[in-house]
Structure 1
């Protein structure tokens, strides 16, 4: 059951709501416009609030649904976390879109929502506060995601390994943003 759910989570994660919504509405492909990222922030820049919110909800659900299903069939939290990680990997490297996906932040938030609500709330609060203070989405993501690891280590230690890998993947996907942040060139809202 674990391997089947992990595979299905990857396939679900591979659905890119930013790309699908842009195609349905005739908006520019987010991978070729704006920041080049297939995620909610770039959709906000390219297509407006409505499509950005729909992208955010879709990407969040891609992480949440597989974890809830894994929980529902009785898999332990560690297995649920690995399944959630597969959904994030699908978002980062989508099978359906030539492995060119987003940065995984909203999908990771969905995984956290399913695994441990206090960690998800901490990440969301940290993201919102950082974004409010800096108007920089990438910096907010880079602060919010690793911030949850100590709480998970303390309250849910069995999920620490997959969530650490998830965090490292998100940081790696933001490496260009890190370069721009250090050089003072990162985009602000």
Structure 2
């Protein structure tokens, strides 16, 4: 389950950043606005981020305990780097919108840090389970994979889901309340 969850999260993250020129430029700009790497290093940092995310996906999808361990370890390291970058941005008052999974307008905040810490925990569990690999029945593997896929989709869509249920702003007065105020 851990491998499919992480693979889902990282494939959505990587593909959303390279989904087209506007998505790529938005991601690069968000890195620039974080003010944590020199301007000359922004594009290389963006390329490295997406390449590493794609590498994690490949390693997690290879049906080998060693590949699973390496993929989980790289995922944990990348997520730890994200925690540091986001934490520094928040501490400096920089609320650049997160381009983690596309063109979100949600400013960086502690929920991003918590999400990445939870994912580091998932990567740790994935590392442990890959190192203790034995023979697992195919039905168990399929069920765990499906569960991880669903959980990964929910994690990547969490900001959108919250936006759907969050009130848009102060309620508009209805015609009844307008009449009462006359």
Using the size of structure 2 for normalisation, the TM-score is: 0.38
Q: Which has the higher contact order (CA 8 A, sep 6+)?
A: 2
Q: Which has the larger radius of gyration?
A: 2
Using the size of structure 1 for normalisation, the TM-score is: 0.36
